[in-house]
Amino acid sequence: MERVRKMAAYLWNFRYLPMKYRWRLIKLRRLLFPTETPLHLRHSVRFARALRHPPLKSPVLFVLGLLWPFPTWKFAAELPLRPRLIIENPKPVRLRGDDLHFLRIIPLWSSRDTPERALYRIYEAVCAEDGDLIASEIQYFWCKTSWATINIADPECKDQEQYAVMAATAEAIVECFNWRIKMGLRRDDPLFMNAYKEPRPVPPEGCPSWALTVGPLPEKLSLGTGGTYYDSPFHRRNIYTSTGDFYSV
């Protein structure tokens, strides 16, 4: 049986033919027997196996569950913990950040994601001082061209500090995106673009109206360990943290 398997593999890979004929037959084989679906289910299962926080009992069932469209196709946005609780224990945020690198490249998961959920993840990363997670989430949000920043829904937080950090995070995203636009970058740019081509004019990103109504906190809230902070949406709300990771390109 092993000899039959090896013979079948030998014939299937066309190794007995010259390279110029082999490549043509391989392309024909891919056309007749596609190994990947438009949903990239095989790759999605492989990425799901890499999730560790928590590990999945069945990566296949996890991916198939992403096809279930009820009660709504889009994931619900659950309000995260208050800032001080995240500051006390930032480890869960950082561990989930490791898994997010795999989740973002699962097409089904990404199509069900929402800008509100991305805002909450950036908010958590800011509170946990996770610069890598901030930078990767900002880039992920930037590439979601259908996510207009002005349409980010009001989280309606009950906690004053949480609402202020949410508003500052949303406004920082807008300022970061407009900084990129001024540099000549566009949200729908391809991975490789012509550096000598004049960028087309686009309107600036708008800030959600609810974020502009949130004023400064009565007492200072420190989210960072640094000693020097520049003017930012956080600083204007009496929140002390660095925003440098928002501007990584």
pTM (2 decimals)?
A: 0.85
Q: How far apart are CA 212 and CA 169, in angstroms?
A: 11
In tens, the pLDDT along 136-161 reads 999 999 999 999 999 999 999 999 99
- Note down the domain range covering 16: 1-35
- Per-residue pLDDT band for 168 (boundaries 50, 70, 90) equals very high
| Range of weakest confidence among 13-22, 113-122, 237-246 | 13-22
Instruction: Assess contact for 221 and 164: CB atoms under 8 A.
Output: yes
Pair 157, 228 in one domain: yes
Among 189, 174, 186, 171, CA closest to 236: 171
Angle at alpha carbon of residue 140, lines to 136 and 146, rounded to 5°: 160
Pair 12, 103 in one domain: no
SS3 215: coil
Pair 11, 51 in one domain: no
Pair 52, 135 in one domain: yes
| Summary mean pLDDT of the chain | 91
Pair 78, 63 in one domain: yes
Pair 184, 216 in one domain: yes
Number of structural domains (the chain) is 2
